[in-house]
Structure 1
Amino acid sequence: MPEDTYDMIVIGAGPGGYVAAIRGAQLGLSVLCIEREHLGGICLNWGCIPTKAMLRSAEVLHLAQRAKQFGLTIADPTHDLAAIVKRSRAIAKQLSNGVGYLFRKNKVTSLMGEARLAGDGQVVVTTKDGVQTVRSDNIVIATGARARQVPGLEADGKRVWTYKDALAPPHEPKRLLVIGSGAIGIEFASFYNGIGADVTVVEVMDRILPAEDAEIAGLAKKAFVKQGMTFFEGAKVAGLERHDDKVIARIDTADGVQELEFDTVISAVGIVGNVEGLGLEELNIKIDRDHISTDACCRTGVDGIYAIGDVVAGPWLAHKASHEGVMVADLIAGNQAHPVKPESIAGCTYCNPQIASVGLTEAQAKEAGHALRIGRFPFQGNGKAIALGEAQGMIKTVFDAKTDELLGAHMIGAEVTELIQGYVVGQKLEATGQDLMETVFPHPTLSEMMHESVLDAHDRAIHI
């Protein structure tokens, strides 16, 4: 049974909350972590990890279908969606159980239940066994977020899905409409297209992947269209007519309204912070556009109450949440703060081809007034990429022409979600283009393209 008083109480056990709890315990604090549903939160159970497991299945199928290119014979490779989902769910369960193990190892107390702030450091927790009150002078809100529901386009779990439905689908889509082309929408579009669905994506902005560099987004669209996807950009879904076996979507485009029939719709139009039922209003904790307002150190403005992860401002990424969790635990323990800089957080989209980026896009850098040096290097110029059979893609780097500062890096192609961290470290260490040019990259590797892109920005590329 949990004690009554702790040095630190964390509400939510996702990648922000559980990391904050473990780091607090490592620093000698007594820590209670309260979770209402699953240890590991959305990320481990219904987000980052299970989606990557499913995408890996689609990737392996794609490779098997190309077996002849590698001198192999694999007769008529097919997929089993139920088995793919079963594997994905097993991986999610394994990792969720792993969080429980880490809590025990680090002597973090966990409690399953619904939490509500009651003022004066008190937290009222409703569990299956009743209601109890615990207390701490330091409370971390890490309640995460859920899928945004648009009036008229609400998910029903049958023919219209959220990401959660798409991870445990009641049927296999044959004609799929994806509303929204951010990372979540594009990943599901890529997965279901990869196992044979006819996929259409509708994006309200004037191009898909609107958060990415425009040149990279353009290359992604070209690759997706080649794979058979259809796109409506600068368009919106004006309505859905639902039937037992189909959905008729009314799509408002620049050329007029089209009515198209699908058997499944995935709504991926953003997220809403889980701010309800926590007692925030009574404590005058400010909420801005469905997310808790904080300063750079995740303080809410109410003494002793912090908020981290998807319940605060973006970017809404697990690695940002984890970093914020560590920072807040350090603050509570009296250590120096190390605030997260949103522009230093890499974004990764695990579609086929993969997309990764950090820092300013070319357009953002120009808008900020920088004179630029732009470097580009294609995958088709890299020996390892050709040997892997992955010769489509590009790495783009953006430098300040005067200071040689690396302002941004943007990639599309095989394994770029692993490569991007090299530029993240470079930015953190304030490496200049000259520093990167003088760095020796191993051969043969995909990372050599990172070097060549920097060389190209300085008119020194060797292999193009």
Structure 2
Amino acid sequence: MGDVTDETPTFLPSLTIIGGGPGGYEAALVAAKLGARVTLVERQGVGGSAVLTDVVPSKTLIAAAESMRRVMAASELGVDLGPAEPRAAMQEVGRRVLSLAGEQSRDIRAALERFGVQVVLGDARVTGPHEVQVRRTDAPADAEPETITSDAILVAVGASPRELPTAKPDGERIFNWKQVYALTELPDHLIVVGSGVTGAEFASAYNRLGAKVTLVSSRDRVLPGEDPDAAALLEDVFRENGLTVIPRSRAEAVERTADGVRVHLSGEGAADRPYVDGSHALVAVGGVPNTAGLGLEDVGVELTASGHVKVDGVSRTSVPSIYAAGDCTGMMALASVAAMQGRIAVAHLLGDALKPLRPHLLASNIFTSPEIATVGVTQEQVDSGRYQADVLRLDFATNPRAKMQGVKEGFVKIFSRQGSGTVLGGVVVAPRASDLIYSIALAVTHKLHVDDLADTFTVYPSMSGSIAEAARRLHVRV
């Protein structure tokens, strides 16, 4: 008699993901690695708008602008670039932007398929708690949609640029942040409407690339939701570089003129300037979730008045088998947040160890020039009395590495809990602040003491040396 082998099959849960951006593809990779059968449906291309029309393209453009900044400052470091005026070759910049976006999309798709994720290009609609209908992009026009059934569904459909009814983008003179890469020549005068993160980043980039730029802000300052010291420093840099900021002014309309655009203004700041003329306009006034027509409400998923999907701390919607991640949830519109939400959803679905999303630990970066990176407790929370913290700001002006590199603006700021010295948060304003913030983010996440930062060796000379120095100055004698 032969051996009897127990061949009871191992249960493999199935997951259908709608949306191939960071929330979707990160979830797909994690789920596939953990043994789930994963189908990912994406409408425009793997990577979603983050890779194809938003984060990757914008940061590639900003990288070109940062190179221009270094070139323009080269003479101060003793480098003679000759008599020719440096200029941005926008056609080449644009080609590189689109090339890198496509390359990143292909790399992500290859990784997904390598781990066994089935990638489907097409439009999806949720038709039940476990059911998604898909109309494939390459299917005949009269073909019936196919139905995918799975144990769970993750909605990660992102958001699209918000459009003003009086400022419709045309892709020629008036742009949203998806269309601006169509520019093949440097604008003579770019008017940026919106002083949030997107508006500030594009204004900074085109200013560094050599365009005349005017930024229209409805608030008192640029980046109204960010650290006030950082925002004030950035405005000073803008002014020094010839960028004009029009505060306390709202753009009522943007219209085409014979050879450009006219932005009509209202508000306190527009008392002496009812309009501003330019060659091009970029409207950056937020985003709208891509949840319309997805069928979510029909199956019981609760949405907010703005159309965002309501989720709990483990990315679950009001329907237990349906999760959501990314910009469509109304959480902070960052690729890192979308990816974390997606990973948390998968961990919850598959019973893996997880920690609910903790926004207070989020490290974020604004890719202006200089960059502004933040993590943890904010200056506003300290000023309001919500947190009792000691605050230490140290300018990079005395940092030897900053001097060597010709970096004149920037600072590091650390918040530590009064009494205990635990690191609660921090701000870094500098070139590549996105890299420098990591050490402070580690300290915040793991509740390290300022002495832990201070006692960790740093390279001399280095920009990170100022982080350790700031922590040393927050030391309290025991």
Q: How does 1:212-361 map to 2 (within 5 A)?
A: 212-255=226-269, 256=271, 257-288=273-304, 289-361=306-378
Is 1:45 paired with 2:46? no
Among candidates 145, 162, 165, match of residue 179 of structure 2: 165
Q: How does 1:64-463 map to 2 (within 5 A)?
A: 64-75=71-82, 76=84, 77-127=86-136, 128-129=138-139, 130=143, 131-169=145-183, 171-255=185-269, 256=271, 257-288=273-304, 289-458=306-475
Range with bigger deviation, 334-343 or 416-425: 334-343
Among candidates 20, 24, 29, match of residue 22 of structure 1: 29
Post-superposition Cα deviations, 1:337-374, rounded to whole Å, max 9, x if no partner, equal 22121121112111111111112221222324333211
Q: CA–CA distance in 1 between the matches of 2:367 and 2:202?
A: 10
Q: CA–CA distance in 2 between the matches of 1:317 and 1:138?
A: 24
User: Cα offset for 1:402?
Assistant: 2.9
Code of the residue aligned with 1:260 in structure 2: it is V
Change (3 A) 1:452 1:301: same
Q: CA–CA distance in 1 between the matches of 2:419 and 2:470?
A: 18
Post-superposition Cα deviations, 1:233-262, rounded to whole Å, max 9, x if no partner, equal 222112223224211112224251522111
Q: CA–CA distance in 2 between the matches of 1:110 and 1:175?
A: 42
Post-superposition Cα deviations, 1:194-251, rounded to whole Å, max 9, x if no partner, equal 1221111111122211121111110111011101111122221122232242111122
Runs of 5+ consecutive residues of structure 2 not aligned to the other structure:
1-11
Contact 2:171 2:182 (8 Å CA) reproduced: no
Post-superposition Cα deviations, 1:121-147, rounded to whole Å, max 9, x if no partner, equal 110001131321111121000001111
User: Cα offset for 1:170?
Assistant: 5.6
Change (3 A) 1:447 1:19: same
Runs of 5+ consecutive residues of structure 1 not aligned to the other structure:
none
Q: TM-score, normalised by structure 1?
A: 0.94
Contact 1:45 1:92 (8 Å CA) reproduced: yes
Q: CA–CA distance in 2 between the matches of 1:31 and 1:241?
A: 47
Q: TM-score, normalised by structure 2?
A: 0.92
Range with bigger deviation, 338-347 or 66-75: 66-75
Q: CA–CA distance in 1 between the matches of 2:460 and 2:413?
A: 20
Q: CA–CA distance in 1 between the matches of 2:239 and 2:457?
A: 37
Q: CA–CA distance in 1 between the matches of 2:233 and 2:474?
A: 20
Code of the residue aligned with 1:200 in structure 2: it is T
Change (3 A) 1:6 1:244: farther
Query: How many percent of aligned residue pairs carry the same amino acid?
Result: 30
Contact 2:87 2:210 (8 Å CA) reproduced: no
Which aligned segments of 4 or more residues in structure 1 are displaced greater than 4 angstroms? none
Cross-structure match for 2:9: none
Change (3 A) 1:393 1:309: same
User: What is the aligned-residue RMSD (CA, Å)?
Assistant: 1.7
Contact 2:381 2:387 (8 Å CA) reproduced: no
Code of the residue aligned with 1:17 in structure 2: it is G
